[in-house]
Structure 1
Amino acid sequence: MDANDGFRELDRQECLRLLAEVPVGRIVYTRWALPAVLPVNFVLDRDGAVLVRTSASSDLVSAVDGAVVAFEADEVDAAAHSGWSVVVTGAAALVTDPAEHARLLRTGPRSWAPAPQEAFLRVAPDLVTGRELVGGRSLYGLHLPS
């Protein structure tokens, strides 16, 4: 961490631990050759992959299956001017294996907007990065007392 920037880099294990604590993140993908961001609820799988449950007929499924995407989640405390952000970058794939799909129906994320036919998207954790804002600042740029 640079002494003046106020951020601390997080290692992979810290990133995965923090991701497991929040229910919502954002998937970043390409839609019609433009960047698109969609908030989604998710869980982490055993290997650290991000799992998203969505409608099998959603535009998201067709846009990201086989593509490299980014997934970001964070937590911010506006009053304390602190927080963290984690980004997982990797290939997204529709879960097509029947046994894996059955397992995820039992243990995977629950959809906040159920659909008649649901599908699971898996984002491989090829690159996991994060940073934490440390030493929050007051309204006038002064460090808050500890």
Structure 2
Amino acid sequence: MTEEESFAHVALQQVGRISMINAPIPFILPVNYKPVGNDIEFSTAADSMTARPSGPVHFEVDEVINAASIGWSSLFFGTAEWVRPREESGDSVAWPPNHREIRIRIRIRPYRVAGRRVRPVMAPR
């Protein structure tokens, strides 16, 4: 898939996975997100592992339709940074209900985007 197709697909979803490989213990966690231009933003609790971005991050979003054996996956390689309140975009990022902890917003600035489609494998004749 092209970079534009990857961004178009990502705009249709709400949950992705972030990986911070330079964290003391590397991890992959799901987050609610929102595309903002060519960036991706998500909210997180101030005391969570995702609130302290450092080094490169990977962000992945995909969709699979198991019954049809089709889907797509987009992977964003980039850097993450805190979003200052005055820089926040007007719309809020999805946040699970009844969360009262202090939250912050993180922006991922992709420097590389890779996407692929998943298609069924045809049996040889």
TM range (shorter): 0.7 to 0.9
Match of residue 118, structure 2, among 133, 136, 139: 133
Counterpart position of 2:44: 54
| RMSD after superposition | 1.7
Counterpart position of 1:70: 58
Structural mapping, 1:50-129, within 5 Å: 50-62=40-52, 64=53, 66-96=54-84, 98-101=85-88, 104=89, 106-112=90-96, 114-129=99-114
Residues 1:22 and 2:13 aligned together: yes
Which of the two has higher C-alpha Rg?
1
What amino acid maps onto 2:40 in structure 1?
Answer: V
Question: Structure 1-normalised TM-score?
Answer: 0.76
Match of residue 3, structure 2, among 4, 7, 12: 12
**Structure 1 residue 19: deviation in Å?**
0.3
Q: How many residues of Structure 1 are paired with residues of Structure 2 in the alignment?
A: 122
The CA distance in 2 between the partners of 1:67 and 1:61, in whole Å, is 13
**Structure 1 residue 142: deviation in Å?**
2.5
The CA distance in 2 between the partners of 1:142 and 1:41, in whole Å, is 38
Identity value in percent: 29
What amino acid maps onto 2:95 in structure 1?
Answer: S
**Structure 1 residue 55: deviation in Å?**
1.0
The CA distance in 1 between the partners of 2:56 and 2:123, in whole Å, is 41
Unmatched runs of 5 consecutive residues or more in structure 2: none
Query: Contact between 1:67 and 1:93, CA under 8 Å: does it hold in 2?
Result: no
Q: Which has the higher strand share?
A: 2
What amino acid maps onto 2:107 in structure 1?
Answer: R
**Structure 1 residue 110: deviation in Å?**
2.0
Query: Contact between 1:26 and 1:71, CA under 8 Å: does it hold in 2?
Result: yes
Unmatched runs of 5 consecutive residues or more in structure 1: 1-9
